[in-house]
Chain A
Amino acid sequence: NAGVTQTPKFRVLKTGQSMTLLCAQDMNHEYMYWYRQDPGMGLRLIHYSVGEGTTAKGEVPDGYNVSRLKKQNFLLGLESAAPSQTSVYFCASRQQGKGEQYFGPGTRLTVT
């Protein structure tokens, strides 16, 4: 039981490049989340999903898109990366009916 996994662990992009971050969970959780964490800002919610095929915007959705084609996977896309998107990205999931979320190990993204 791997829990929540994220790929890649690290990535460096040039401004304007695109990439997709993959989150996978094997706990059969309905809900999945993407956060970014910046120094002094805490965790901020980018997008989330309440089930397969559904997505919703969080606090800071601009510049990101997401897809949840399979229950176990939640993809975060950056179409045209900007230096302001340099951050650590965490994926999380939770079980329906419970509030606690479980996090993946994170992806460190640098945009130059």
Chain B
Amino acid sequence: RKEVEQDPGPFNVPEGATVAFNCTYSNSASQSFFWYRQDCRKEPKLLMSVYSSGNEDGRFTAQLNRASQYISLLIRDSKLSDSATYLCAVTSLGGYNKLIFGAGTRLAVHP
């Protein structure tokens, strides 16, 4: 089993839709969680950290479920510009030294 797993998609949604991605992780000792966005042929860029209490940044909401070992990303009112691959990342074996990345979920928003 992979340490961090994501549904590769693609998720094809119309503009204005709400879409949610999940990411499961296997190491219960993981302490920090992040969502990154990666555009085609570009580097991953930090979208948001995921806090235990959940956090929101504009149209984006991230949540952590430690009991079931997954994090989620909700995007409301999808824009064409949200089309990208979304990577989740989880710290490994406690501490911050290494991040384990999921393979990413592709989102395509269409008019």
**Residues of B in contact with A, size category:** 20 to 34
Report the number of A-B residue pairs with Cβ-Cβ less than 8 Å: 46
Is the CB of B97 closer than 8 A to any CB of chain A? yes
Q: Are B43 and A45 in contact (CB under 8 A)?
A: no
- Interface residues as binary, B79-92 with A (CB distance below 8 Å gives 1, 0 otherwise): 00000000101010
Do A105 and B43 form a contact, CB below 8 Å, given A99-B31, A99-B91? yes
**8 Å CB interface, A68-102 against B:** 90, 94, 97-102
Are B46's CB and A100's CB within 8 A? yes
Q: Are A42 and B103 in contact (CB under 8 A)?
A: yes
Q: Are A99 and B32 touching (Cβ within 8 A)? A: yes
In the assembly, what is the distance between CA of A102 and CA of B49, in Å? 13
Q: A34 interface residue, CB < 8 Å from B?
A: no
Q: How many residues of A contact B (CB 8 A)?
A: 21
Interface residues of B in 36-57 (CB under 8 A from A): 42-46, 49
Question: Is B21 among interface residues, defined by CB-CB distance under 8 A?
Answer: no
Are B43 and A104 in touch, CB under 8 angstroms? yes
Is there contact, CB below 8 Å, between B101 and A99? Answer: no
Contact partners of B34 in chain A: CB under 8 A: 99-100
Residue in A42, A43, A50, A90 with the greatest tally of chain B CB atoms within 10 Å: A42
Could you say which of B31, B45, B91, B103 has the most chain A C-beta atoms within 10 Å of its C-beta?
B103
CA distance A23 to B65 in the complex (A): 36
Whether A103 and B98, one on each chain, are in contact in the complex, defined by CB atoms closer than 8 angstroms, is no
Are B101 and A94 closer than 8 Å at their CB atoms? no
A31-B44 in contact (CB<8A): no
A79 to B94, CA, bound (A): 33
**Which chain B positions have C-beta within 8 A of A105?**
42-43
B44's partner among A43, A48, A99 (CB-CB below 8 A) is: A43
Q: Does A61 contact B (CB under 8 A)?
A: no
Contacts of B101 in A (CB 8 A): 42-43
